[in-house]
């Protein structure tokens, strides 16, 4: 296969991270997508991507409930690719990965779940179209997922499983200003799941989530969510419009909820953000060690910091207390600003 220099650079970084984390190398599985994506010679051409503006569109993340895995999200294809092409590309990649991960029956499940998003009834007026994600552990591919751009209105709900529709309708009735962003369909070696993620287009008071979470049987989790977010955000419990995403799913444990805070949209995030987060993890030493190991793996050899954290999230359900995830803009994938280029 023809190797593009920028694709080579991305694969090299992924390989290095995997080596430090002692996981399988995702660059092997993702090589066809990376080669089709990073075909331009100029990294700056990728700066207007929807996944990580002004950085190469490859986003690593740490998840407390997946502590020993290397998680990557990618906006595939070159920046000028139509959204419908990106949607079709990630669908084909997902079918191939799911087949290798869990077999034909899992592919049939994915085909049924994804049909409203990929077929003739899918939204043709797409922007970015779709993202693609993987998680690898030491034994290879553990999870594969697609993020389908979702239309507004009833189209966001059409085709969802009935159990998820009930959860989503509860959220829409109880939380004002929700705008659907994407539907996530994920497959692991032993299970699959589907979720719908919304942007909060109006200011959100964390305490205002209580009635909705009560209906979903998750009201007892809000205290822990507020404690963690209040700690890392310097006592902020009122979040501005467009700073928060809310994701809802339904699995074996019932309703599933995750809140994402977009750190760039929050004024005065404490400089000690990470120290405050690790303080919150002190009672969970395994998670804290995993986070430290992940940060060390993604820190360049000639630097002391892995990059800028873009998102902090907390995910919970009826049997699992809130668990932290962190999303990173790697220092090695940051692109220079126009001002820096001019200088």
Task: Return the beta strands (E) in 28-138 as ranges.
Answer: 58-63, 70-74, 130-137
For the beta carbon of residue 283, count every other beta carbon within 10 angstroms: 8
Task: Return the beta strands (E) in 5-103 as ranges.
Answer: 58-63, 70-74
| Over residues 33-38, mean pLDDT | 96
Mean pLDDT of the chain: 93
pLDDT in tens, 170-211: 999 999 999 999 999 999 988 999 999 999 999 999 999 999
Q: Report the percent of the chain where pLDDT is more than 70.
A: 94
pLDDT computed for residue 123 by the predictor: 52
By CB atoms closer than 10 A (0-12, 13-18, 19+), residue 216 is buried
Residue 318 lies in a domain: no
Residue 34 lies in a domain: yes
| Over residues 49-55, mean pLDDT | 95
Q: For 151-220, give the secondary structure using H, E and C.
A: CCHHHHCCCCCHHHHHHHHHHHHHCCCEEEEEEEEEEECCCEEEEEEEEECCCEEHHHHHHHHHHCCCHH
Segments forming the whole domain that contains residue 282: 5-313+323-342
* Structural domain count, the chain: 1
Task: Say if CB 11 and CB 27 are below 8 A apart.
Answer: yes
| Over residues 148-160, mean pLDDT | 80
Residue 269 lies in a domain: yes
pLDDT in tens, 233-281: 999 999 999 999 999 999 999 999 999 999 999 999 999 999 999 999 9
Residue 106 lies in a domain: yes
pLDDT computed for residue 343 by the predictor: 47
Task: Say if CB 6 and CB 34 are below 8 A apart.
Answer: no
Residue 337 lies in a domain: yes
Residue 289 lies in a domain: yes
pLDDT-derived band of residue 85, with 50, 70 and 90 as boundaries? Answer: very high
Residue 123 lies in a domain: yes
pLDDT computed for residue 337 by the predictor: 66
pLDDT computed for residue 157 by the predictor: 84
Is the pTM for the entire model greater than 0.85? yes
Residue 140 lies in a domain: yes
| Over residues 124-146, mean pLDDT | 93
| Over residues 136-142, mean pLDDT | 96
Instruction: Find all residues with CB under 8 Å of 136, minimum gap 6, and list them.
Output: 18, 23, 24, 25, 26, 29, 69, 70, 142
């Amino acid at each position: 296969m023809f190797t593009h220099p920028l694709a080579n650079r991305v694969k090299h970084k992924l390989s290095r991270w995997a080596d430090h984390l002692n996981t399988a190398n995702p660059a092997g599985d993702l090589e066809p997508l990376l080669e089709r994506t990073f075909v331009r010679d100029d990294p700056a051409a990728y700066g207007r991507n929807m996944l990580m503006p002004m950085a190469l569109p490859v986003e690593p993340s740490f998840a407390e409930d997946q502590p020993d895995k290397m998680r990557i999200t990618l906006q595939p294809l070159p920046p000028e690719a139509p959204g419908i092409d990106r949607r079709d590309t990630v669908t084909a990649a997902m079918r191939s990965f799911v087949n290798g991960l869990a077999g034909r029956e899992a592919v049939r499940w994915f085909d049924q779940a994804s049909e409203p998003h990929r077929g003739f009834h899918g939204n043709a007026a797409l922007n970015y179209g779709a993202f693609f994600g993987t998680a690898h552990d030491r034994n290879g591919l553990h999870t594969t997922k697609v993020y389908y751009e979702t239309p507004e209105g009833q189209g966001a709900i059409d085709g969802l499983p009935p159990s998820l529709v009930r959860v989503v309708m509860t959220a829409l009735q109880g939380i004002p200003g929700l705008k659907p962003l994407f539907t996530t369909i994920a497959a692991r070696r032993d299970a699959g799941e589907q979720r719908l993620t919304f942007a909060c287009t109006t200011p959100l008071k964390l305490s205002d989530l209580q009635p909705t979470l009560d209906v979903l049987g998750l009201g007892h989790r809000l205290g822990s969510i507020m404690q963690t977010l209040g700690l890392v955000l310097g006592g902020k419990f009122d979040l501005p419009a467009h700073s928060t995403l809310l994701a809802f799913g339904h699995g074996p444990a019932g309703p599933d909820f995750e809140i994402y805070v977009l750190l760039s949209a929050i004024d005065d995030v404490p400089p000690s953000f990470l120290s405050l987060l690790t303080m919150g993890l002190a009672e969970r030493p395994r998670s804290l060690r995993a986070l430290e190991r992940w940060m060390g793996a993604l820190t360049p050899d000639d630097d002391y910091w892995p990059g800028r954290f873009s998102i902090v999230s907390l995910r919970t359900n009826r049997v699992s207390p809130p668990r932290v995830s962190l999303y990173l803009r790697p220092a090695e994938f940051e692109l220079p600003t126009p001002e820096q280029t001019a200088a």
